[in-house]
Amino acid sequence: MTDTQELVEQAKNGDQSAFTALLKPHLKIGYNVCYRITGSQHDAEDALAEAMGLAFRGMAKFRGDAKFETWFYRIAANASKELMRRKKEAVYIQDDEGGEIQLADPSVPDAFSAVEGMGDVTTALNSLSADAREAFVLASVVGMKIAEIASHQGSSVSATKVRLHRARRTLKDMMNIDGTLKVQF
């Protein structure tokens, strides 16, 4: 039995130190997955924290069909998508005349987003659909295979290939060789 397998078994039995040892080498890539999907440092931190909690609580259900890190990156991607879905739900309040005022338009980046280091690559990634962005991040950052991404997203391998191809083509069309945007938004 390898060290990783031993840590998995200990973590499945509720050993927090084993879970921490198992998770620690994968936090940087997990954060990158969250950041590339959410496009915000603050949201990525929130999504990663949620993913860590979900992974710990779900450790007993880990079957070992995939590597631990692949399983964790999927949880991180799902936590990021869920956070973005929740953020899209607009908040309204009643004004003095009985009408409604929308407090935030989630499709418009707030002032803090610009300050948080929204670079050109992140801006380009955010122009992709949520599914295309997730597929691109899982393939490029995590290194998942197309079949794994398809399974994760609940789509066919061919649809995932098309999604990845279009995402790569869109990013290539938007970016200069030095990583800057061809057209500023």
Query: Is the confidence at residue 104, as pLDDT, over 50?
Result: no
Residues 147, 138 contacting (CB under 8 angstroms)? no
Instruction: Note the pLDDT of residue 103.
Output: 47
Give the C-alpha distances (Å, rounded to integers) separating 126 from 41, 64, 135.
14, 33, 13
Instruction: Note the pLDDT of residue 168.
Output: 87
In this structure, what token pair is assigned to residue 138?
A: 């899982």
Instruction: Note the pLDDT of residue 1.
Output: 65
Instruction: Note the pLDDT of residue 127.
Output: 84
**CA 20 remoteness from chain centre:** 21
Query: Is the confidence at residue 72, as pLDDT, over 90?
Result: yes
Nearest to 71 by CA among 83, 87, 60, 85: 60
What's the pLDDT band for 96 if we cut at 50, 70, 90?
A: low
pTM: 0.63
What's the pLDDT band for 182 if we cut at 50, 70, 90?
A: low
